[in-house]
Chains A and B, each alone.
Chain A
Amino acid sequence: MDILDYAFMQRALLAAVLVGITAPAVGIYLVQRRQALMGDGIGHVAMTGVGLGFLLSWSPVWMATLVSVLGAVFMELVRWYAKTRGDIALAMLFYGGMAGGVMFINLAPGGSTTNLSSFLFGSLSTVSESDVTAICLLAAFVVLITVGLRRQLFAVSQDEEFARVTGLPVRFLNLLTAITAAVTVSVAMRVVGLLLVSALMVVPVAAAQQLTRSFAATFAIAVAIGVSVTIGGTVTSYYQDVPPGATIVLLTIAAFIALTALATPLARRRARALAAAQPGGDPAECAIPAGRESGDPAGA
């Protein structure tokens, strides 16, 4: 294991494991709320933070955290107040965030878009000591929220109206989810890059639910997939000299395809077991789908 002899690889692997845990942990709530692309939007906004970090010579990770949290809060506000033009406002936020990032980094002394590319697509060798500290602190926050408040976040993401009637602070929890997603983007930025971070939030969850029936199992398997692909991708990129972000995302999609192929016979076996358990099932009982709607992305 000569890979662990290098300090930069130790840091990269630690960051990779933390990303593998946090991205699916927050992503599962986004998928549950049918806001799978929210991470992508935050990733765009975070570019402005990276640019500002370069311009002001502050830590890009902390600046990206600050700006993406502000962006996420703004997105939640748009969701509350804007009825029909909400998507336009979000589009402006995303592209404004991207343009701001490119602009600021070019204004920075000695800065050019080349500096940005390691943040866009991930770069292991550039994970610094202070980055690792930031990533550890931010990841601890994400795990605390996504695990500690799992019942509340589950209830709000499953059925917002019902959650309000149980007296849960729905607006606060929505805001907290958005902020946690923004923090996760900053955690993942160094390893997978801003443009690919959303994949790691969504695809492990989609892969896990090919096999699962419960939220808890989906959560556990999604995190397991996340950790496996981030470690696998990091190690591969060390030996093969390929970009880590792209390797990780392609591995995640491969895992999705493999699990989907595995799920078909599994589902068939479960259906047989169910049919055996309920002899002479009432045909009227399966005529009505169980209320799965094709989606309401605005959550109106």
Chain B
Amino acid sequence: MTTEPVISLRGVRAELGSRPVLRGIDLTVRRGEVVALLGANGSGKSTAVRSVIGQVPVSAGEIELFGTPRHRFRDWARVGYVPQRTTASGGVPATVTEVVSSGRLSRTRFGLFRRADHEAVRHALDLVGMADRAKDSVDALSGGQHQRVLIARALAAVPELLIMDEPMAGVDLASQGILAETLKGQVAEGATVLLVLHELGPLEPLIDRAVVLRDGCVLHDGPPPKAVGQHALPGHDHVHPHAPAGTEPIRTGLLS
């Protein structure tokens, strides 16, 4: 039962302009797994994730979501997507509740909200610890709080699969902890998770498998590199908001 693939990519190629970004990627995420997609800037990890949700045209290969070819997949309420934070801002003020409510639309008929929908939105805000800011403008939030709102938006539809693009980028320590706890809760309830990460950070204990990309190819697919192993990746910037004092950095990286 637990081996049913939720995401399956076979030989996926994609180009941005004329530059190949993905050169034949194989990736399978099975039900209940937490998979981290790692790699340096420009390695194709964001493109890979965006190809899964149909935001990047694929020139070759097959993508399946829940066993359905992606171009025929319509059951989007089963997928919760958390984009990189910068993409989500409008020119008009909007409250936290209004933004999170967008995530519930996939479960409504013609966008009509029933009581259960309002409750789902409230519950999603509770999960990320933002219920007390429900009526505040999203523009008044910090980077970390904003990220929590985007995760609540994805959770509002109660998805089975969570796809997150760099959820920890620009997030303060307090929010990182809350995000890790939220994700832990989701995983405990059986959610499948695919994350793009720059480094494992506080999410490390949750991750079952790491897939490392370099130049659009899968370099490693297996247990997550130990502690700070991915530091050896080219282009990795050394930022350590989470390192507990006294931790011995491991210098032998995955690629060395």
Query: Which A residues are closer than 8 A to B by beta carbons?
Result: 28, 31-34, 36, 149-152, 154-155, 157-159, 161-168, 205, 209, 212-216, 218, 274, 282, 284-293, 295
State in angstroms the CA–CA spacing of A164 and B157 once bound together.
14
Hey, which chain B residues are within 8 Å of A287, CB to CB? 142, 172
Are A288 and B113 in touch, CB under 8 angstroms?
no
Query: Contacting B55 at CB < 8 Å: which of A161, A213, A218, A282?
Result: A161
- If A151-B102, A166-B102 touch, whether A292 touches B139 (CB-CB below 8 Å) is yes
Hey, which chain B residues are within 8 Å of A284, CB to CB? 142, 172-174
Are B89 and A291 in touch, CB under 8 angstroms?
yes
Are B143 and A151 in touch, CB under 8 angstroms?
no
Are B53 and A165 in touch, CB under 8 angstroms?
yes
A191 to chain B, nearest CB (A): 24
Hey, which chain A residues are within 8 Å of B88, CB to CB? 158-159, 162, 291
Hey, which chain A residues are within 8 Å of B137, CB to CB? 213-214
State in angstroms the CA–CA spacing of A128 and B91 once bound together.
37
* B95 interface hit (Cβ, 8 Å): yes
Query: Contacting A290 at CB < 8 Å: which of B74, B91, B101, B141?
Result: B141
B3 to chain A, nearest CB (A): 26
Query: Contacting A291 at CB < 8 Å: which of B55, B85, B91, B157?
Result: B85
* B213 interface hit (Cβ, 8 Å): no
* B54 interface hit (Cβ, 8 Å): yes
| Binary contact readout B67-95 vs A (1 if CB under 8 angstroms, 0 otherwise) | 00000001111010101011111111111
B230 to chain A, nearest CB (A): 24
Are A166 and B90 in touch, CB under 8 angstroms?
no
Give the residue name and chain of the B residue nearest to A274 (CB): B140
Query: Contacting A167 at CB < 8 Å: which of B99, B106, B174?
Result: B106
Cβ contacts A to B, 5 pairs, < 8 Å: A161-B83, A165-B81, A166-B102, A212-B93, A274-B140
Query: Contacting A155 at CB < 8 Å: which of B81, B105, B113?
Result: B105
Are B144 and A285 in touch, CB under 8 angstroms?
yes
Are A166 and B76 in touch, CB under 8 angstroms?
yes
Are A165 and B94 in touch, CB under 8 angstroms?
no
Hey, which chain B residues are within 8 Å of A34, CB to CB? 90-91
State in angstroms the CA–CA spacing of A292 and B141 once bound together.
11
| Binary contact readout B165-188 vs A (1 if CB under 8 angstroms, 0 otherwise) | 000001011100000000000000
* B224 interface hit (Cβ, 8 Å): no
Hey, which chain B residues are within 8 Å of A32, CB to CB? 90-92
Are A159 and B143 in touch, CB under 8 angstroms?
no
Hey, which chain A residues are within 8 Å of B87, CB to CB? 159, 161-162
Hey, which chain A residues are within 8 Å of B90, CB to CB? 32-34, 157-159
State in angstroms the CA–CA spacing of A34 and B255 once bound together.
44
Query: Contacting B95 at CB < 8 Å: which of A31, A168, A213, A282?
Result: A213
State in angstroms the CA–CA spacing of A152 and B108 once bound together.
11
Which residues 82-130 of B sit at the A interface, judged by CB distance below 8 A?
Answer: 83, 85-95, 98-99, 101-103, 105-106, 108, 111, 113
Hey, which chain A residues are within 8 Å of B8, CB to CB? none
